[in-house]
Amino acid sequence: MNNALDTARRTLLAPAGLDETDLDRLLGQILTHRVDYADLYFQYSRHESWSLEEGQVKSGSYNVEQGVGVRAVSGEKTGFAYSDEILLPALSDAATAARAIARSGASAGMPVRQRSGAVPKLYAPLDPLASLEDAAKVKLLETVEAEAKRADPRVTQVMASLSGVQEVILVARSDGGLAADVRPLVRLNVTVIVEANGRRETGSHGGGGRVSYQYFLENDYARTYAREAVRQALVNLDADDAPAGSMQVVLGPGWPGILLHEAIGHGLEGDFNRKGTSAFAGMVGQQVAARGVTVVDDGTLADRRGSLNVDDEGTPTQKTVLIEDGILKGYLQDTLNARLMGVAPTGNGRRESYAHMPLPRMTNTYMLPGIRDPREIIASVEKGLYAVNFGGGQVDITNGKFVFSASEAYLIENGKVTRPVKGATLIGNGPDVLTRVTMVGNDLALDSGVGTCGKDGQSVPVGVGQPTLLIDGLTVGGTQQQ
């Protein structure tokens, strides 16, 4: 009994009077042209969001989206069309448009349809929107506000939002594969403004995962997140200007793992490496990180924001070793790039929605822990920066240059964490930054569930993590010349 598949049939196919023979017929219609591969991606999603400012939940929104994306692949060519009507004539139009990428002529026939076997259950197929009464959602946000205001009188503004998504997907592939997934996702976020002596600062925190809203209640996260946002804002209220120049940088555990995402994550995506446009192209087997550094992408972590039972091409996710003891082992692959590179897909084919084409993307990327005590790492630094919280980052995958911007950082002087300094952008070079990791902490942590990754205009939820790290020589983009 495959519950996800039943739910998907009921949600996506039954209302339009479709069944699997219709899907086979549509795929057959595409296979009258010379294509290597084709798939149909059905998606239904419900999304809600509640937001609070000035002590009141003044707005809320609810969104429903559904549709089907039709893709035909011939060699390196992809034809893609989609419809927001799940109806046979619209699907047939889309199939006709997509298959035009290839000449007419028979492809290999459709093999017998196979359902994906034992589908893992990394998260419950629940509906987060229904997991809490609306009045309780409002109350949760009011708790955030009250706690932030209670935490410190210098808090002048609290903005909080709660959002939930339920997504049901079904993928039917021309190689006979059929897979479905029911994906919950929730998130709670808080941003505060603090003000004192004419100076204003901001702090934010949040979290979530593939769980119900009960996650926030059971763990009292509304209050925890509020206090953390206030703490960060107050640290920044006292911060001096950040230093400028190259120095030793200690990155804290958890969310600073966006270092990995920007420095190597995007550069190891299969499409860029197949095309030779990544600074990491052709480097499998070479040393790209210091010995002792092992980085994995793992879509199979229970309940995590970046996890998927199957990816958006129906491939089960897995734990993929990207860097092992400093050596580059492989790339993140979807089916198209895996086929063209002659390797197996890694369950990293992801898309924002039915209206977007799948691309190789990360799930949860993190570095395995080392042996150092984090206190020992800080104590080893004579003069440097200790960065523990970050905003976003970006990378130019071709020349490998990447940035990520600290939102909470401190100076390290003579082995001790001293004054807070304002956020600054850190810049480095992906293929060599990890070779300058000289110490790896024993305190691996994953982020709290807030990551969103953008590529080609498509956003997908992801996770990152790492232990405390010492990097010998990273450029810190502050304003104070040393």
One residue of 13, 31, 68, 94 binding other proteins per CB under 8 A: 94
By CB under 8 A, name the one of 398, 418, 452, 459 that touches other proteins: 398
Q: H helices of 268-355, where? A: 270-274, 335-341
246 binds other proteins (CB under 8 A): yes
Give the span between the Cα atoms of 225 and 216, in whole angstroms: 10
Q: Which one of residues 254, 326, 347, 478 is an interface residue with other proteins (CB under 8 A)?
A: 478
Residues 103 and 29: their CA atoms lie apart, in Å, by 13
CA dist 295 and 275 (Å) reads: 23
Closer residue to other proteins (CB): 293 or 476: 476
Q: Which is nearer to other proteins, 102 or 381 (CB)?
A: 102
C-alpha distances (whole Å) from 50 to each of 57, 130, 159, 206 are: 7, 14, 11, 14
Question: Which tokens in the block code for residue 438?
Answer: 């000289």
137 forms part of the interface with other proteins (CB under 8 A) = yes
Give the one residue of 38, 182, 279, 338 binding other proteins; rule: CB under 8 A: 279
| 427 touching other proteins, by CB under 8 A | yes
Helix-, strand-, coil-residue percentages of the chain, each rounded to 5: 25, 40, 35
Q: What number of residues does the chain have? A: 482
Q: CA-CA distance, 119 to 309, in Å (whole number)?
A: 7
Per rule CB under 8 A, count of chain residues that contact other proteins: 85
428 lines the binding site for other proteins (CB under 8 A)? yes
Binders of other proteins in range 140-199 (CB under 8 A): 156-157, 159, 193, 195
Looking at this protein, which amino acid is placed at residue 458? Q
Interactions with other proteins, residue window 9-48 (CB under 8 A): 48
Q: Which position among 3, 114, 394, 459 is part of the footprint of other proteins (CB under 8 A)?
A: 394
Q: Does 219 bind other proteins (CB under 8 A)?
A: no
- CB of residue 332 to other proteins, shortest distance in Å: 18
Q: CB of residue 49 vs other proteins: minimum separation in angstroms?
A: 9
- The answer to whether the CB of 188 falls within 8 A of the CB of 225 is yes
Establish if 422 lies at the interface with other proteins (CB under 8 A).
yes
| Residue 252 binding other proteins, by CB under 8 A | no
**Ordered DSSP codes for 221-260:** HHHHHHHHHHHHHHHHHTPBPPEEEEEEEEEPSSGGGHHH
Does residue number 292 form part of the binding site for other proteins (CB under 8 A)? no
Residues 146 and 21: their CA atoms lie apart, in Å, by 55
Please answer whether residues 225 and 205 qualify as being in contact, where contact means their C-beta atoms are separated by less than 8 angstroms: yes
Query: 242 or 411, CB closer to other proteins?
Result: 242
The 331-360 contact track toward other proteins, x by CB under 8 A, reads: ------------------------x-x---
Smallest distance from other proteins to CB 337, Å: 12
Kindly state the smallest distance separating residue 265's Cβ from other proteins, in Å. 15
Is residue 310 within 8 A of residue 334, CB to CB? The reply is: no
Is 315 an interacting residue with respect to other proteins (CB under 8 A)? no
If one asks whether residue 423 binds other proteins (CB under 8 A), the answer comes out as yes
Distance of CA 243 to the CA centre of its chain: 30
3 state SS of 157? strand
**Contact with other proteins (CB under 8 A) among 23, 42, 83, 259:** 83
Question: Which residue among 8, 13, 101, 469 contacts other proteins (CB under 8 A)?
Answer: 101
In this structure, what DSSP letter does residue 85 have?
S
| Site membership for other proteins, residue 395 (CB under 8 A) | yes
User: Taking the complex as a whole, how short is the minimal distance between the CB of residue 280 and other proteins, in angstroms?
Assistant: 11
Of the candidates 228, 264, 257, the residue with the CA atom closest to the CA atom of residue 445: 257
> Rounded to an integer, what distance in angstroms lies between the CA atom of residue 152 and that of residue 73?
58
Given 29, 202, 287, 435, the residue binding other proteins (CB under 8 A): 202
